[in-house]
Amino acid sequence: MNFGDQQATKILIWLVSSRRNRMSGTGGLRKGDNITVNGAALWDDILHTARFGGTPKGGIRRLTLTEEDRLVRAWFEAACRQVGCTVTHDSLGNQFARRPGRDDSLPPITIGSHLDTQPTGGKFDGIVGVLGGLAVLRALHASGHETRHPIELINWTNEEGARFAPAMLASGVFAGVFTEQEALDKTDRAGIRFEDALVGIGYRGSEPCGQHPVSAYFELHIEQGPILEAQHKTIGIVTGVQGIRWYEVTLTGRDSHAGSTPMTMRADALLAAARMIEAVNQVALAFGPDAVGTVGLIESRPNSRNVVPGEVFFTIDLRHPDDTVVVRMEEAMRAKVAAIAAESGVGLALDCVWDSPAVHFDPACIGAVRRAAESFGYPARDIVSGAGHDAAYLARVTPTTMIFVPCAGGLSHNEAESAEPGDVTAGANVLLRAVLDADARLDA
């Protein structure tokens, strides 16, 4: 069976299960609650947009503010205009697709995520949220349903942080965590400034980032973990995001000849880094099952096979749902790293470059998602996000929550990332109904 046959089979199975789910939903629907998204069109969008930066292994390499990013942004704008939306972008390139409401003076109910990916990313991380939001706009347009609030779909710039660190950079500026100038001055590993890259693809808008009004924010996303799939749940009702801290480490030893420098007389920066990487792992294990620690990027210099490495740069990522535990993890990590540097005879520079405290989402928005999942009869459970998302920053400035759907094996940030059409459609349906719920209840 080829890939196309497999997808056709998945969609056929989804059509049957989707009909059953609609039939098992709860009664008492309000006006507009019988609207559902077009799951087949949503799946087509996922497969189509995967071409922008598509990799031979079936994933996507679509780094922020690259040509691939420009192409998918242009597609996004055209698709939103086809359903009657106006599309604008602000000074950091965040895109806003607006569908008017009956009272267009009200601040919009917003939905969104991101279209940038990791260097070896998949077709679903972030993308499901943007394209699921587009499916919501299409459903409203096709039905002719008029919401009280304007509805806006947002594509956030540089959520991944793969090219310009830290992650969630533009939504962070939007929420006042970073200044706009801080973001514009960020450089990638090649020394290219964020502002220059943004201007280069033609998406530097005039509206200052953060001045766009919002009344609520909903974000659909794959779980990026194994819990929903393992427990046979279709919907994750996200109650918050765990605390995250990122660090950059530079070790300075001494370049020397690999053949003529005795082992006892070396200042090997890479050897010290290897010991520190193991120490990060030990710290995470010591703080229980909810703690995680990762070294995901490492650069050795001069990176020659017969030279003892004289300098190493690497990153550390620490996470836990409890901010007090993150602080204790940092203290333990710093102590271990400093001791290893002293024992190895290498210089140490360790900087915290991003601190994203744990987030608790808005109870009213969570309630809207819970009612939406119940109305369709989808199996659901409460869940805390292990990954960071733009919603974590939006929660600082507006009522916010997220909706999770399962991904195969919990795998994400990987070209093999996968999700089922029926689950993606279910998530978009919950997103649609949660937005309509919020539209009826906000300011009422």
Same-domain check for residues 174 and 47: yes
Q: Does position 11 have pLDDT exceeding 90, yes or no? A: no
Q: How far apart are CA 37 and CA 173, in angstroms?
A: 32
Same domain for 120 and 158: yes
CATH number, residue 261:
3.30.70.360
pLDDT tens-place string over residues 176-209: 999 999 999 999 999 999 999 999 999 999 999 9
Percent of the chain with pLDDT over 90: 91
Q: How confident is the model at residue 443 (pLDDT cuts 50, 70, 90)?
A: confident
Could you tell me whether strands 216-222 and 151-156 are parallel, antiparallel, or unpaired per DSSP bridges?
unpaired
Looking at 335, 356, 377, which one is the last position of a domain? Answer: 356
Same structural domain for residues 256 and 123?
no
Tens digit of each residue's pLDDT (9 = 90 or more) over 131-147: 999 999 999 999 999 99
Tell me the pLDDT tens digit for each residue of 273-328: 999 999 999 999 999 999 999 999 999 999 999 999 999 999 999 999 999 999 99
Shared domain for 409 and 325, answered yes or no, is: no
Looking at every residue in the chain, the average pLDDT score rounds to: 93
Most distant CA pair in the chain, distance = 81
First-to-last alpha carbon distance for the chain, in angstroms, is 53
Q: What DSSP assignment string belongs to 215-252?
A: SEEEEEEE-SSSHHHHTT-SEEEEEEE-EEEEEEEEEE
Residue 320 annotated as binding site: no
CA torsion sign, 316 to 322 to 327 to 328?
negative
Domain count, the chain: 2
| C-beta of residue 426 within 8 angstroms of C-beta of residue 386 | no
**Please, are residues 309 and 268 in contact by the beta-carbon 8 Å criterion?**
yes
Q: Is there a single domain that holds both residue 238 and residue 271?
A: no
The Cβ of residue 382 has, within 10 Å, a number of other Cβ atoms equal to: 12
Domain boundary among 356, 374, 389: 356
Residue 347: which of 313, 393, 373, 389 has the closest Cα?
Answer: 313
Backbone angle region of 191, left / alpha / beta, with phi > 0 → left and psi within -120 to 50 → alpha: left
Top pLDDT among 28 and 401 is at 401
What is the three-class DSSP state of 53? coil
CB 350 within 8 Å of CB 240: no
158 and 225 both lie in a single domain: yes
Looking at the structure, tell me whether residues 169 and 217 fall in a common domain: yes
User: What's residue 28's pLDDT?
Assistant: 39
Q: Is pLDDT of 409 > 80?
A: yes
* Per-residue model confidence (pLDDT) at position 21: 39
Give, for 20, the enclosing helix (H) or strand (E).
helix 3-23
Domain boundary among 356, 374, 392: 356
CA atoms in the 13 A half-sphere facing the CB of 104: 3
Flag whether 125 is marked binding. yes
Residues 150, 163, single domain; the answer is yes
Radius of gyration over every alpha carbon of the chain, rounded to an integer in angstroms: 23
Q: What is the pTM assigned to this prediction?
A: 0.82
**Mean pLDDT of the 340-354 span:** 97
Same domain assignment for residues 166 and 249: no
The pLDDT score that the predictor gives to residue 32 is 66
CATH number reported for the structural domain that contains residue 230 in this entry: 3.40.630.10
Chain Cα centroid distance, residue 26: 32
Q: Which residues contact 372 (CB under 8 A, 6 or more apart)?
A: 429, 430, 431, 432, 433, 434, 437
Q: Are residues 333 and 262 in the same domain?
A: yes
The answer to whether 384 and 240 are in contact (CB under 8 A) is: yes
Determine the pLDDT at residue 444: 58
Torsion over CA: 297, 301, 305, 307 (sign) = negative
Residue 239 and residue 384 in contact, taking contact as beta carbons nearer than 8 Å:
yes
Percent of the chain surpassing pLDDT 70: 93
**Res 31: pLDDT:** 60
pLDDT-derived band at 22, boundaries 50, 70, 90:
very low
The reply, when asked if residue 413 is annotated as ligand binding, is: yes
Question: What residues make up the domain containing 373?
Answer: 3-242+358-441
Considering the domain architecture, whether residues 248 and 229 belong to the same structural domain is answered as no
Same domain, 334 and 371: no
For the stretch 236-284, pLDDT in tens is 999 999 999 999 999 999 999 999 999 999 999 999 999 999 999 999 9
pLDDT in tens, 58-115: 999 999 999 999 999 999 999 999 999 999 999 999 999 999 999 999 999 999 999 9
Q: What is the mean pLDDT of residues 27-56?
A: 87
pLDDT of 162? 95
